[in-house]
Structure 1
Amino acid sequence: MNDKKQGYIDENAKKPRQHISRLAFLLAGLLIAVTSVSLVFVGFIASRASTQQAVANEKRLFRSTLSDRLRAIVRDQVELTSSDVSVQNLVREFDPDFVRKSFDDLWSEHHLSKVMLISGGDKVLAETFEDYTHIIQRPVNETPGLEIVVDKLRDMYRRNRVRVPGGFGHRSLRGIDQSEYAIMGFLQIDGKPALFGAMPVIPDNHEVTLPDGPPTILLSARYIEDKLLKRLNRQLKFASLTFVNGPGEREIGPFHPVLDQSGEPIGIFQWDSKTISTSIWPTIIPVIAVLSIALAALAFGIAWRIGQLTTSLQMSERQNRYLALHDSLSGLSNRLHFNRMLEASVRSLPARPFAVLHCDLDNFKPVNDTFGHATGDLVIKTVATRLKDAVGDQGLVCRVGGDEFMVIYQGPINKAHLTRLSRMLVASVSDPIFVSEKDSVNVGLSVGVARAPSDGSNAETLVGRSDQALYQSKVKGRGQVSFYSDIREPQTASQMLIRLHETSPRQALGT
């Protein structure tokens, strides 16, 4: 019973901490897993953000390149449109030969797809078809969206027009942005999507002036076809660049939609990005691996140290608990442990009856007085060992005072068995105890027995009645065994209890 109860106490003591080390390693592993997943997630977000940023940069580059191409169209025609000679031959007078020569020069030098001359009366006066210039007069509205371009350019012209002697002129183009005097964008021309630039025909030296009224407009365009796409991509260096007619958006990959002057979609530029195919994962994965390994080493190192500290703490607490519940001299359970186990045994009644054996040494004081306290300690330790061996696993032997012992016995509690057990205890203690090679001492043992639940069903009652039985054994002459149930006279027993409170048995009897 001693080992069983002690194991129960130790188990209760270490249970709150027995899994701390394992928990520390589990938490370390969880931390590593969460961190690794977080790093992978961060890598995914970073990769996605990197791809999005790369696509945004490519779109910005494409818009810039496309804008440059539009500005180039206007720039290519400025020499013709900003000229006194052009005002004279295109506005003041209409010279077909001058028109053909000028349009041929634009087509051959700048590889324009289309050139159109539009009068202030909303008529197309001339337009090119490949390398042929056709002199005609047709309404502007035959080309969808062209009226909007003309109207916008007329408003811009009115803002820039200045009065000069003999008519009107145009403010200088020097130092101002193209968007302040020209219209650039996209149109469907001859059924084909095209980039265009348009500006009014204006004088440069104002030797020839403009008449009052709407301006004459020159429009130049480049069809969006393979030739243009190749030229654009020489600057962009995309994996591929295509144009798709009609409305819609590309679901995957970068694209750039284009609208006509009324805001209607013409088509989309789309390309395959080299940046998208270049993943940053080969860079991120080694970083994640290194960080995870470093974190794992740190976390498991901390967990191992926590495990060490926990083990040390458990050992220390186990030792402290053992010292708190055991007598340091004899190694038996002390009064605190006895009281706890007695309360636990009482709670198990009536299912598990038990007995309380109250034991006290006889003739112990002369041993101390004659041989000294060191010998007395040796006697106590020897008696403790003998009592524990005699009781065995069916009882808990406790030292509750100087030479006072108590036993909680949970084996058979019939009177015959307890009598044999008690006499065995008396006999084992009565054997000589050698305190040196030549000297030995003799002590005796008196025992008082109270049985539960017949003699009491609470701890205080059982202890009191076992003490009364012990007193009876002392009265009978020491080395005796008495049962509380054998005390016949209640009044005498009450008197003995009163005397017991006034003085201990050993004091009363001189032991």
Structure 2
Amino acid sequence: MAIRAAAVMIVGLFVAANYFVLEYSIERADSFVAETERTLVRNEFSHQIDQVVQYQSQISFWDKTFQELEDGMPGHAFIRDQIRDWMWADFGFSWMIFTSPDGEKILGVHNGKAVSERKAREKLYWVSDLTRRAEQAYRAALSPDRGGWQVARARRDPDLLTPALPNIHVTGMRLIDRVMSIVVVQAVIPKTLYIPASRREPILLVTVKPVSGKMLANTASRLGVHDLGFTPIVTEEPGLLMTPVGGDGYNPMVASWRPNMPGSFVWQSAVPQIAIFVVAFAAVMLFVAVRFSSLVKALQRSEAKNAFLARHDPLTGLKNRSGFDEEVSRAVRKGEDKPFAILALDLDKFKAVNDRHGHAAGDTVLQAVARRFSDRIGPRGTVARLGGDEFCVLLAGEYDRADLVALAEDLVRDTQVPVAYDGQLLLIGGSAGIAQFPEHGGSVHDVMVMADAALYAAKNGGRNRAVHAGDIGSEAVAEAAAARAA
């Protein structure tokens, strides 16, 4: 009896030990996956907010807007050309409101159309804290200069491809018109950052960019999560992960999604096996080793997938802007004795394909061009899709100018090869600009500006050609620098 009791006790201890080890492992695995996904979601929304700030700055940080506001609110032509046909049609801003801090002057535009003062004030009520903070940031950035005021310049980061903006904008995420939206508020200032004494009182620009269902679906696809959306912060629902996004303390909503938790799968697979382990101790030990190995591999695959999605374009499989920034920054850190070249490429007549044949046809064209570029460049460098129909190539090492021009012309010819889609041939073209480090700049920003300037020169020269930065004038460089800063 004692031996049997001891055997039963050993088996019981063995079962208990396996149970607690498995339970702890599942808990840690679920916790690890949940925290990883929270970080990815926060970073993704932070990136989207940064993009909206860049888009909004094209109006709020612009000489033309500052001049338009000199005698009051913007006129009908400005609303039509710059707000309706540009910011609403191209970037999808649902609301754009110009207002003085005291609210005496106000102009609201909703979906490209001017609205009554009453409707504009109703929307301002929900973002009044942001307008106050934006006014405070603007005034804190002013310093006396030449009888007027100078706005403090932003500190440039040479490792960033996006232009540095004055630190006077305020962002938040709010429920606007029953849709979670990204709100950006900033005082309208000129490119010179000089404010005449008579214009010290600012006009604030409030922009609202709704987070559409398509944006959420694309984000969920990139991150590999399910049912991504927004839910009240007080929601308590089993199996639902939540995290605040945007850093807005007045936002009662948080991002929510269904996580990729491995726990339930592990439990369903392990429980039947545990019953067998009680009979055979050796089989139990083997099973535990197999299960832990499977769990570690599942976590590694999940981590690798998330890392890939964070740095690659899901449509073409090429590096995205984030991945390309890392590659370029890595090349710059190698020093002046490690030169490299940047090829900026842009598709011609691509918008016509989207408009005439639909976005599915446009996606087919982008995928075909991406494959051709990748085949052409091969192991010599990195090909990236920075967004829309904009591509970029990084070639590490020293290259002869003639060889770079020949390679760029080959890439342009690759864009001109028709793409088969739905029984017809889609025709586009391409233009390319070439710049080299350190010949055309000592920072990433300078080299990219030169590559953009060469690209603009190629487009202005008739398109479907490649231009080297050494063949352009200072006016083209200034134009490209202004465009990148905008």
TM-score, normalised relative to structure 2 = 0.49
TM-score, normalised relative to structure 1 = 0.46
Q: Highest CA radius of gyration, 1 or 2?
A: 1
